[in-house]
Structure 1
Amino acid sequence: MAPTVFRDGSFRFFFFSREEPRMHIHVSHTDGEAKYWIEPKIELAMNQGLTQKQLNEVLLLVEKHYEEILNAWHKHFGN
């Protein structure tokens, strides 16, 4: 299961249900995908195919939706 947290333009932000416990968010795009750690600070964990410009845009979106991501994480994973 990979519930969508939010979409913005051609980016989809989501979680994988059975993955590591450290808080993070995945993002998919037709050009590739990335993963960002949320805690202890927001930072790129993995990138496959996204340009630096796209990564900068994603980072701004993660920062903008930080509270929404936190709430969705706790609701989905229950911690």
Structure 2
Amino acid sequence: MPRVFEQDGFLFFFYSNDHHPIHVHVRYGDGEAVFIIADEVTLRESVGLKVKELSKAEKLASDNKSLIVQKWNEHIG
């Protein structure tokens, strides 16, 4: 499970055998979400996260979009 980054309790990561399109998984507490990383960061799915937590995760993903793409290319290709 390649870690991309962790901030404010949110863990951003990929699975080693992940697939396109570029996306990132986010865990916070007992919840998890997946965001598609393209021109815009888009929520694909979430389980167990509150609206406020999802908003924070989306902002962190948007703020770190270039890092996510860089790490994706390093780990997934």
Place the TM-score, normalised by the shorter chain, in its bin.
Answer: over 0.9
Deviation at 1:57, TM superposition (A): 0.3
Residues matched between the structures, number:
77
Compare relative contact order (CA 8 Å, sep 6+) and give the higher one, 1 or 2: 2
Structure 1 runs, 4 residues or longer, greater than 2 Å off? none
Query: Paired residue for 2:72?
Result: 73
TM-score computed with the length of structure 2 as normaliser: 0.92
Match of 2:32, SS state, is: strand
Mark the runs of 5 or more structure 1 residues left unpaired by the alignment: none
Match of 2:20, SS state, is: coil
Instruction: Determine the C-alpha separation between the residues in 1 that align with 2:31 and 2:57.
Output: 12
Instruction: Determine the C-alpha separation between the residues in 1 that align with 2:32 and 2:57.
Output: 10
Mark the runs of 5 or more structure 2 residues left unpaired by the alignment: none
Deviation at 1:9, TM superposition (A): 1.5
Q: Percent identity between the aligned chains?
A: 34
